[in-house]
Structure 1
Amino acid sequence: MSKALERRAKLREALVEAAERAISAKGLGGLKTRDLAQEIGIANGGVYNLVEDVDELILRVGSRTLARLDASLSLAEISGSTNPRDMLVRIAVAYCEFAAENLELWRALFEHRMQPGKPVPEWAVAEQMELFRHIYKPLTALFPQRSAAQLGVTARSLFSAVHGMVTLGLEQKLIAVPLDALRVEIATLTRAMIDGLTAKKE
């Protein structure tokens, strides 16, 4: 790699890291390219020599967030009983804990909207979908007769229920729930859903 390309790569990494810090501190509303440029020592317009636009910058930050979430879910997956029901409960609770510990970065994953008419890049979609493997694996063990499409629907339904509870539980304005209580409720919800789904197949 030439020195110019190496310098650009380092500046790009510094830009994404600075954007990550800004979002973590103030949410998406706190992301200002002028401030980022000043922080990493480039001209204001230099940001767009490193990324295509703000959408790409936010997605690159999101990629880092998803990688850390993936690591947290992977650890939860292997940290205990191999019973698929128990595994799903641990994964759900780990998701809740990650959201609480990385609140603004986690929110940004769902609050960000691409510019009108601009699709989410395939690489970003692939990274998002890859995380569903943590749910597919234990669901496959629980429901070996289900097709991939059926498991996909079940996985999304389970995620939606847990995500909705986490979102509302961590909302600071209206119905915030203490984290310890939220963990318990998430575990209870997940067990109830799995028990209900298991009962239906019998």
Structure 2
Amino acid sequence: MSSPTMSARRQAQLEALLDAAEARISTDGIDNLKARDLAADIGIALGGLYNLVADMEMLSLLVAQRTMTRLDKAFTEAAQAPLTDNASAVARLEGIAHTYYRFARENLLLWRAMFEMRLKNTPLPEWNKNAQFGLFAHVAAPLKVLMPEADDMAVTVTARTLFSAVHGIVVIALEERIIAIPNESVEHQISWLIRAACDSL
């Protein structure tokens, strides 16, 4: 059997493993993800799973990467209108924030898994960091319009702060055990936060 054929087979098994991991996380959450269950799901021996990924931490990172890729696509689709002035920049930020909330609500356990991973032995790979930077870039672009005199570092810090503020609202809104903003009011309150922050700029 040729090496390219083996590589294609290995890639197909890895994709099947990621599909199985996503399905189980979507149903049971990342804390219940077990290597033995996943190996059975795709019909390989437990040892074969670790020929595809180094460990469960790396598997969690690969699943998170898929989730971030889908989120990045959703942000891109929400940012079709051109950035021409302050009003369009604020509208872009509102659209991204609303998209983030809807994505989290519709992909709840996969979204939570991005923040619930317990990485004890695996440092964040560059491809994971770059995916995170890509998400922040969606926020930074309209902020550059609103902060024309600011340097790149100031825009970056503001983008991360604004993202964190929206993330906090979303986390609490989707936490069933905490009395938070009613679901029907979340997007309105997110818009209020975005506009208040933009006014301060």
Q: TM-score normalised to the size of structure 2? A: 0.92
Name the Cα RMSD after superposition: 1.5
After TM superposition, give the deviation of residue 183 of structure 1 in Å. 1.1
Aligned-partner Cα distance in 2 for 1:122–1:46: 26
Report the counterpart of residue 169 of structure 1 in structure 2: 173
- Is the CA contact 2:83–2:142 (under 8 Å) kept in the aligned structure 1? no
Of 148, 151, 157, which aligns to 2:152? 148
Moved more, 34-43 or 78-87: 78-87
Gaps of 5+ in 1: 198-202
Paired residue type of 1:21: A
Paired residue type of 1:112: M
Report the counterpart of residue 106 of structure 1 in structure 2: 111
- Is the CA contact 2:89–2:146 (under 8 Å) kept in the aligned structure 1? yes
Aligned-partner Cα distance in 2 for 1:138–1:81: 7
Report the counterpart of residue 67 of structure 2 in structure 1: 65
Report the counterpart of residue 3 of structure 1 in structure 2: 5
Of 41, 45, 48, which aligns to 1:46? 48
After TM superposition, give the deviation of residue 113 of structure 1 in Å. 2.3
- SS of 1:131's partner is helix
Report the counterpart of residue 28 of structure 1 in structure 2: 30
Paired residue type of 1:47: L
- Is the CA contact 1:170–1:177 (under 8 Å) kept in the aligned structure 2? no
Q: TM-score normalised to the size of structure 1? A: 0.92
Of 162, 167, 186, which aligns to 1:158? 162
**Is 1:125 the equivalent of 2:125?**
no
Give a deviation string over 1:140-182, Cα, whole Å, max 9, x none.
0111110000101111110111001110111011225443311
- Is the CA contact 2:90–2:142 (under 8 Å) kept in the aligned structure 1? yes
Count of aligned residue pairs for this structure pair: 196
Taking only the aligned residue pairs, the percentage that are identical comes to 45
- SS of 1:77's partner is coil
Segments of 4+ moved more than 4 angstroms: 79-82
Aligned-partner Cα distance in 2 for 1:110–1:2: 36
Gaps of 5+ in 2: none
Paired residue type of 2:105: A
Paired residue type of 2:91: D
Report the counterpart of residue 90 of structure 1 in structure 2: 95
**Is 1:136 the equivalent of 2:140?**
yes
Report the counterpart of residue 200 of structure 1 in structure 2: none
Aligned-partner Cα distance in 2 for 1:113–1:150: 30
- Is the CA contact 1:85–1:191 (under 8 Å) kept in the aligned structure 2? yes
